[in-house]
Amino acid sequence: MAFPTAVNDQITDAVTQSNVKVIGEAPAFAMGSIYQSLAHSTGILFENAVAAQQQQNTLALAAANQGVMQIYTLDTTAAAGATEKVAQTGVSDNLSSLMTVLKAFTGTKPVKGLNSGSP
């Protein structure tokens, strides 16, 4: 002890040692608390990820169900006509035009709108 006091030296030594113990353990307890908070936050993160996946799965099932319901409510003849109309656009339309021109050169079918001079 540096200064003489009216308290017994053993008591002051015990208090000093317990204070040193508390101050020495504080960083370890703080790190433990930080790790517990990190683990808890990570758990919540994974819970939210699972909930989001479940909601996306439910939405996908509902969308598929709506699509099937729309398919069953279509008139089949109208759907066939729409499919044919879609099939005749784009590349297939270009191919049918080329086939018409080729047939015109062979003389099997006249092409409308071309002034070739031959019937």
Q: Is 100 exposed, middle or buried (0-12, 13-18, 19+ CB in 10 A)?
A: middle
pLDDT at residue 23, rounded to an integer: 84
For the chain, give every domain's residue range. 9-73, 76-113
User: Residue 96: which pLDDT band, with cuts at 50, 70 and 90?
Assistant: confident
What does the pLDDT read at residue 1? 47
On whether the pTM is more than 0.75, the answer is: no
Band of pLDDT at residue 24, cut at 50, 70 and 90? confident
- Phi-psi category of residue 113: left, alpha or beta, with phi > 0 → left and psi -120 to 50 → alpha: left
In 3-state terms the chain splits into helix, strand, coil percentages (rounded to 5) of: 80, 0, 20
Specify the pLDDT at position 92: 57
Q: What distance in Å separates the CA atoms of residue 117 and residue 119, rounded to the nearest whole number?
A: 7
- How many percent of the chain have pLDDT more than 90? 32
The CA-CA-CA angle for residues 63, 82, 102, to 5°, reads: 135
